[in-house]
Amino acid sequence: MDAWMKKLGSSEEAFTLLSSVFANVSDAILVVDKEGMIVTANPALEKMSGWATEELIGKRHICELCLGMATCREEATCADCFFKQEQMPSFEMRLKTKDGRDYPVAASSAQLPEIDGGKMVLILRDMSDQQRAEKERYQHKLTNYVIQAQEEERKRISRELHDGVGQALYSILVGLNVVGQSKLSEPLRQHVADIQQMTAKAMEEVKRMALELRPSALDDLGLLPALRSLIKRFEKSFGLLIDLHVQGDRRRYPAVVETALYRIVQEAMTNAAKYAQADKLGIVFEDRDKELVVTVVDDGIGFDVERAQKKGTGLGLFGMKERAQLLGGTVDIRSAPGEGTTVIVRIPLAKEETEDGHSRPDRR
């Protein structure tokens, strides 16, 4: 530093340079006296704290701008305050703004004993963007984890239902067939026939539940066959006419992409069946090589999207967006009362997902 100052030549040059640094850096720099009163502050502190420089210099104590601090290891109390240390190269501080907000900053402090009886310089760096980004990253990670865990659990329960309860019911049915073929009195024969019917119904129910939890076609055959079978079930259950149009290659995609798209389309179809009072549903599935675009259109009563999202009573619309976002994609919902609803989902495909062995060409 000394060598650098010497290089600068005259003290006037050095002063101009340091003043310029002080005025233009984005970090807030403030100097406090021995009592803790602010004696100088740069414009960046005005921006961060909301206080004008005239309201700070000689008028505010450093404690009025501090809501607490923490070192990299732990929360600190006022007893460990940077003000009592000779220097603290790195700590976190919660800056209190003029309107009382809590503003996270990364700070460093050092005593300046050679200046006017000893003062302290404090440098504050805005961490709000980093903290927000970190919070979002954490939130995404957590959501991703919850979604994956939920899918795994659904897969497990679906298999248990299919292979466990489903198989057991099938064995009972076979046994009842044998009993039904033996010589029985009429009332007993009728009784066996009733039980056979109930067992067959229970088997159907278990099969439906297993399918709804997680269709094995999604893992075994892929997204398009699973969607076709979902469409068939919807047409049967809700009396809807559903048209599926596929453009581009038909192939397998990474499991996370297939699962996310299946769940998003399933939710869009469920919403249309529940609320739209629609007769027809159109689904367009486009493989655009670098991205997958799926559009679900209904000709129903439509709704105010912004209001529904603000109201936030359901999780469906939020979940669709969250699933797409986790894969770097988007969900665009276009609707208005009386105008039907269009849901457009875009999921990007990474290079290796479009070119390597992940994507087996799979003509169906």
Q: Is 343 left (phi over 0), alpha (psi -120 to 50) or beta?
A: beta
Dmax over Cα atoms in the chain, in whole Å? 119
Q: Is 341 in the site for Mg ion (CB under 5 A)?
A: no
Q: Considering the complex, what minimum distance in angstroms separates the CB of residue 304 from ligand ATP?
A: 9
Residues touching ligand ATP, count (CB under 6 A): 16
Contact partner, 254, from Mg ion, ligand ATP, none, Cβ < 5-8 Å per class:
none
Q: Is 341 in the site for ligand ATP (CB under 6 A)?
A: yes
Question: 3-class DSSP state for residue 328?
Answer: coil
Contacting residue, 276, 283, 331, 345, with ligand ATP by CB under 6 A: 276
Q: CA angle, 245 as apex, 241 and 250 as ends, to 5°?
A: 135
Stretch that binds ligand ATP, among 187-195, 219-227, 256-264, 311-319 (CB under 6 A): 311-319
Of the pair 199, 295, the CB lying nearest Mg ion is at 295
* Residues 122 and 29 sit within 8 Å (Cβ to Cβ): yes
Dihedral (CA of 150, 153, 154, 155) sign: positive
Q: Considering the complex, what minimum distance in angstroms separates the CB of residue 270 from Mg ion?
A: 6
Contact partner, 166, from ligand ATP, Mg ion, none, Cβ < 5-8 Å per class:
none
Q: Considering the complex, what minimum distance in angstroms separates the CB of residue 225 from ligand ATP?
A: 25
72 is in an annotated binding site: no
Cβ-based neighbours of 246, under 8 Å, separated by 6 or more: 224, 284, 285, 286
Distance CA(181)–CA(204), nearest Å, equals: 23
Stretch that binds ligand ATP, among 65-73, 209-217, 224-232, 270-278 (CB under 6 A): 270-278
* CA contacts within 13 A on the Cβ side of 270: 12
Of the pair 60, 263, the CB lying nearest ligand ATP is at 263
- What track of x and - describes contact with ligand ATP for positions 200 through 239 (by CB under 6 A)? ----------------------------------------
Q: How far is CA 140 from the centre of its chain?
A: 4
* H/E segment holding residue 353: helix 351-355
Binding residues for [4Fe-4S] cluster: 63, 66, 78, 81
Binding region for ligand ATP (CB under 6 A): 271-272, 275-276, 298, 300-303, 308, 313-317, 341
